[in-house]
Structure 1
Amino acid sequence: MERIYLETLIKADIQKVFDLARDIDLHQKSTAGTHEKAIAGRTSGLIEENETVTWRAKHLGIYQSLTSKIISMEKPYHFTDTMLEGAFKSMKHQHIFKVKKEDTLMVDIFEFESPLGIIGKMFSKFFLKSYLRKFLLQRNELIRKAAEGSL
């Protein structure tokens, strides 16, 4: 299992950052490069606990679909989504929000496992982990800009 840990400090209120992080429409803007689109389940607005969303996107030259479900949520401190169907063997993404003086620290813990045994493990280690880290950093930057009013 691979793990990506990211911290993003945002000069904005925790509730605002929390809502932007679960905003389907903003997520689609942050993933314009992969043509990501919500096609089933919650397809716009703020996703809530026990809701699902199915994404269709072009990653590594191939259109893929991934369905995830929000399995836990404590507003405005955290929510966790997990993959129900998709290209990974497993995937879990924890979104954690902490007040830091007048700012918000947004923490991502993204854990995934690729299929295909040892070949999948090698692919994850040498390419996919870096690709996904960059993908998450782009998303976080858009959340930061939106929250700080510099979009």
Structure 2
Amino acid sequence: MTRFEVVTAIAAPPERVFGVSLDVEVHTGSMAASGERAVGGVTSGRLRAGDTVTWQARHFGVRWRMTSRIDAYDPPRHFVDEQVRGPFRRRHHAHHFEPDGHGGTLMRDVIEFEAPPGPLGGLAELAVLNRYLPRLIVVRNEHVKAVAEA
């Protein structure tokens, strides 16, 4: 299993950043390069506790689908989205929003994942996913930051 964290400073209050982070259209905008879109469950607007969304995107030339559920929900401090069906053996993404003391937010993403079972999954995790997924989160967070600060 791989675990990594990404911290992003955003000049907007936690309430705004929390809401923007749960917006389906903001997410799809952040993942435009992969053509990611919501194709099942909640497909527009803001996700809430217990909601599921199925994302479809193209990564590495392959079309993927992943269904996530919002498992934990404590506005405006924390939420978790967990894969319930998809390409990973396990994927858990905790989102934390902390006041920075100056009216802004420190957004901290903690991601844990395991590639699919088998030797190819393990190889993909070590050779590709350990670098690719953190970069994907940084791109997403840059978009969230731009929307929240607008």
TM superposition score normalised by structure 2: 0.96
Q: Deviations over 1:14-70 (max 9, x none)?
A: 100000111100100110110001011010111000010000100110111000000
Tell me whether 1:143 sits opposite 2:144 in the alignment. yes
Q: Superposed, which structure 2 residues align to 1:70-109 within 5 Å?
A: 70-101=70-101, 102-109=103-110
Unaligned runs of 5+ in 2: none
Residue 104 of structure 2 aligns with an amino acid whose one-letter code is: D
| Residue identity in the other structure for 2:31 | T
Aligned AA (1:41): G
The reply to whether residue 54 of structure 1 matches residue 54 of structure 2 is: yes
**Residue aligning to 2:25:** 25
Q: Distance in 2 between matches of 1:22 and 1:63?
A: 23
Q: Distance in 2 between matches of 1:37 and 1:25?
A: 9
Could you tell me how far apart the structure 1 residues matched to 2:92 and 2:121 are?
17
Structure-2 residue corresponding to 1:122: 123
Q: What amino acid maps onto 1:31 in structure 2?
A: M
1:39 is matched with 39
How much has 1:146 moved relative to structure 2? Answer: 1.0
Q: 2-side partners of 1:78 and 1:21: how far apart?
A: 11
Deviation (angstroms), 1:118:
3.6
In the alignment, the residues of structure 2 paired with residue 105 and residue 118 of structure 1 have an alpha-carbon distance, to the nearest angstrom, of: 37
Code of the residue aligned with 1:137 in structure 2: it is V
Q: CA deviation at 1:148?
A: 1.3
Cα deviation for residue 138 of structure 1 reads 0.4
Distance 2:116 2:30 in 1: 26
State the one-letter code of the partner of 2:142: E
C-alpha distance in 1 between matches for 2:11 and 2:54: 31
Aligned partner of residue 27 in structure 1, secondary structure = helix
Task: Report the RMSD for the aligned CA atoms in angstroms.
Answer: 0.9
Within 1, Cα distance between the matches of 2:87 and 2:120? 14
> How far apart in 2 are the matches of 1:66 and 1:119?
19
TM-score, normalization: structure 1? 0.96
Q: Which runs of 4+ in 1 moved over 6 A?
A: none
Opposite residue 67 of structure 1, the aligned amino acid is T
Range moving further from structure 2, 116-125 or 16-25: 116-125
Identity of aligned residues (%): 36
